[in-house]
Structure 1
Amino acid sequence: MTTPATTPTVPAVPDAADRAAARARLTDVVRRTPVVRNRALSDLVGGDVWLKCENLQRAGSFKIRGAYTRISRLSEAERARGVVAASAGNHAQGVALAASLLGTRATVFMPVGAALPKVAATKAYGATVEHVGRSVDEALVAAREMAERTGAVLVHPFDHVDVVAGQASLGAEVLEQVPDARTVLVCTGGGGLLAGIALEVAAARDAGRAVRLVGVQAASAAAYPASLAAGHPVALERMSTMADGIAVGRPGQVPFGIVRDHVDDIRTVTEEDLSRALVLLLERAKLVVEPAGAAAVAAVMADPRAFEPPVVAVLSGGNVDPLVLHRVLRHGLVAAGRYLQLRVAIADRPGELGHLLELVGSSDANLVEVEHRRTEARLHVDEVEVALQLETRGGEHRDAVIACLREAGYAVQVD
């Protein structure tokens, strides 16, 4: 009687040899992205702050590292069946590019409403795109069903040791490029990137280096705090964030244990924090970064004295829809006090609008747009509402403009 072959047990954590092998596989595939010092953030922190520009990586994010590592380790028979993945965009592009480089076909399930540039790029790399659900978690259910039905290999965005081993290569680069780093901040969704970097940081600590590692999540999509408190991955009931790249409702089983054992802190940032970070990166660093990729910078800006320098903030991706970027930047300008939207009711008689605009001009606010509304139900019959969009020079100037109008007797509603 022939004893059936047993499937080798997959280790829960990629060891040093696994990570070294992954990095070797990636040598001619990924770019060693630059690390640049940012003066504005350094001034806030009181010491050097460096940006790891993974937004300049092939396919626009770190995801190619894990995707290529995972697919490159498949057998010829497995690659012949194709691969399937689920993603809001970055993992989709990473899988599509890796599959094209390795000669296998890829199908990617993306949420309905995924950013059009990410969808177009995924298709351009040769993948077939299917739209399912409103979140990565829902798309992942469809991807698993296809894998079971067709035999295609599921390339999970974060919950596999090969993916974590691939993402660890970014951590190795950071520690080489900033050898005196004391704090590393990493955006976090399911945890694959944070876990990979955590393993390299843990090895550095064993070698005598003092490095603090901090994961950063969007406050309205933060699954790790509750999961760590519970001692196991816990699913969120709902999520709502502009940072779709880290909008993951449940931590992965593989990265969770690594994060629990080796990550010092998980911070959360608001939508306003993310918006301000994007504005700073565009204005002061000349870098286009997606909301999820700006999470580490958002944490630094929200509490700059909490992090011992030298600080490294990982910019995980730069794949952002220009229309989304426009809205987010406008949101960021509002949060920074540099863009003001307000409504004022004035008497419906000649000269009143001119008087209002003259007052706005005297306060040194720049008028961007004005709208005259006569049909609002809340208005008296002899009133009109004026909606103004103004450019201001910061929080103090914004408050001064509002105070000037109110002192003149206007009832001001700030939007």
Structure 2
Amino acid sequence: MDVTFEDIIKSQKLQRNVIRRTPLENSHSFSEMTGSNVYLKSECLQKTGSFKFRGAYAKIASLSKDEKKKGVIAASAGNHAQGVAYASSLEKIPCTIVMPVTASPAKVSATRSYGANVILEGTIYDESSAKAADIAQKTGATIVHAFDDETVIAAQGVIGLEIMEDLPDVDEIYVPIGGGGLAAGILKAVKTKKPKVKVIGVQSSGFPAMKKSFDIGKLQSVAGHRTIADGISVKTPGHSTFKIINELIDDIVLVDDSSIVKAMFLLMERSKTVVEPAGAVGIAYLLDKKPSPGKKVVTILSGGNVDMYLLGQIVAKGLTEMGRMVKIFILLTDKPGALKEVVDQISSLSVNIVDVIHDRLSSSIPAGTAGVTLSLETQDQEHAQQLIRFLKRKNIQFKVVT
């Protein structure tokens, strides 16, 4: 069965009293940085923190009474798990979620908080999915697929309708792609109503399965590499999603983790919005490539469920990427006042000293000296370079750690 525009309209009516209509807001900061007129579609503010709730609710609401009695089951490491669990709680039906043993404890806890029975099985999604299929066969529970399902695709397509209603003269839409459910739904909605609007998919360079499939014109799998964008780390895209994407999408592009880190950091600092790595890939590409000068561009912030430990790393790495945090190692003569002299000179440049680590005892530190590692906050990359030039002029023995 093919997804139709009418299916998306029906799903919009179904969602009306349950799903949050997320805001579409213009960003002055990102417009200046990219040269485009940038609008942010904040699905990170959706219930359960992700667009996945739309598809999960639509699928579960469409089940028959008998199917609902037998319950549902899904395999997921995060957003889809929470969406299915919450939708099941609204419909008051049994729900089982199979998650990898490597899943974030916070996401496991959040999924259980919605009343789901969580089973930890396998180290990767494929193993969890196999376990879910086995349970479904034994219990008769309905599998709620994360992306390769026509009802789910149509539900995600409602986001495309909302964008066109809120910004009728949109030129381009940038959509994160993992398995392809979000992109496929938006493509069906947008290309049916406004075929001239460009829709560009964005993937992590670590898992470019849909990009590879699109380039070849045939469904492909990838081994995948390490990436922080776990929400779009899909080895094999869906058959239904690929069919739609291959036919309708204008292009698929890639971003790396360093670009994602920068985008997440700037979204927090400039837009006061916490977005998970997978949800930040669109803005990451716009910042990195500046591909659409003068165009009205929408990027979809697809989720905001980021691990708190990772968030701390993002802040630190973001400051470093922006040239606003410099860590240096200085070897000083071990005498009173030596450190104070250096600190006073650094402070004269309006550089903020964030952290000091003093080391006399390590084997790499010569006798009679002390090693000091300073974490320094600067205004920007030029300020950081000014600091380094200053230290060289003062003949201070140092090396840049980061």
TM score, norm. by length of structure 1? 0.91
- 1:259 equivalent to 2:259? Answer no
Structure 1 308/139 Cα, relative in aligned 2: closer, same or farther at 3 Å? Answer: farther
Partner of 1:222: 208
Aligned to 1:81: 70
Give the letter aligned to residue 327 of structure 1.
Q
Whole-angstrom CA distance in 2 between matches of 1:166 and 1:414: 48
Deviation of residue 316 (structure 1)?
0.8
Letter in 1 for 2:276: E
Q: Contact conserved, 2:184 with 2:244, CA < 8 A, in 1? A: yes
Which residue number in structure 2 is paired with residue 413 of structure 1?
400
Change (3 A) 1:341 1:132: farther
- Which stretch has the larger CA shift, 55-64 or 369-378? 369-378
Letter in 2 for 1:149: K
Instruction: Give 3-state SS (helix, strand or coil) of 1:283's partner.
Output: helix
Pick which of 379-388 and 155-164 moved more: 379-388
- 1-structure distance, mates of 2:17, 2:158: 13
Aligned partner of 1:165 among 138, 144, 154: 154
Q: Is the 8 A contact 1:108 1:127 kept in 2?
A: yes
* Alignment partners' CA distance in 2, 1:342 and 1:72: 57
Misfit runs of 4+, over 4 Å:
none
| Structure 1 residue 94 displacement after superposition | 0.7
1:354 equivalent to 2:343? Answer: no
Give me the whole-angstrom Cα distance separating, in 2, the residues matched to 1:389 and 1:164.
47
1:17 aligns with 2:6: yes
Partners of 1:402 and 1:412 within 8 A in 2: no
Cα displacement string for residues 202-249 of structure 1 (whole angstroms, at most 9, x for unaligned residues): 10235xxx2111111122232222222333332222332222211222
2:121 to 122, 132, 136: 132
Q: Which residue of 1 aligns with 2:261?
A: 275
How far off its partner does 1:411 sit?
Answer: 3.4
Q: Among residues 204, 222, 225, which one is paired with 1:236 in the alignment?
A: 222
Pairing 1:326-345 to 2, within 5 Å after superposition = 326-345=312-331
Alpha-carbon contact 2:203-2:211 (below 8 Å) kept: no
Which residue of 1 is the match for residue 366 of structure 2? 380
Matched, 1:319 2:305: yes
Distance apart, 1:382 and its partner CA: 4.0
| 1:79-122 superposed Cα distances (whole Å, 9 cap, x missing partner) | 22211112221111110111111221111122334333322221
CA distance in 2 between partners of 1:112 and 1:397 (Å): 45
**Given that residues 176 and 300 in structure 2 are in contact (C-alpha distance below 8 angstroms), is that contact kept between their aligned partners in structure 1?**
yes
- Mapped to 2, the partners of 1:61 and 1:379 lie a distance apart of 50
Within 5 Å, which residues of 2 pair with 1:139-218? 139-206=128-195, 210-218=196-204
Q: Is the partner of 1:221 in helix, strand or coil?
A: coil
Q: Which runs of 5+ in 2 are unaligned?
A: none
Distance 1:374 1:219 in 2: 43
CA distance in 2, matches of 1:305, 1:234: 27
**Residue 401 (structure 1) aligns with:** 387
TM-align CA RMSD:
1.9
| Counterparts in 2 of 1:298 and 1:47: CA distance versus 1, 3 Å | closer
Normalising by structure 2, we get a TM-score of 0.94
- Distance (Å, rounded) in 2 between the aligned partners of 1:148 and 1:258: 29
Aligned residues: 401
**Cα deviations across residues 162-210 of structure 1 (Å, max 9, x unaligned)?**
111111111111111110000101111111101110111210235xxx2
Q: Match of 2:194, SS?
A: helix
Alignment of 1:268-307 (within 5 A): 268-306=254-292
C-alpha distance in 1, partners of 2:126/2:318?
A: 28
Which consecutive residues of structure 1, in runs of 5 or more, have no partner in the other structure? 1-10
Summarize the alignment of residues 74-113 of structure 1 with structure 2, pairs less than 5 Å apart.
Answer: 74-113=63-102
User: Could you say which residue in structure 2 is the equivalent of 1:4?
Assistant: none
8 Å Cα contact 1:344/1:413 also seen in 2: no
- Tell me the distance in 2 between the aligned counterparts of 1:36 and 1:341: 36
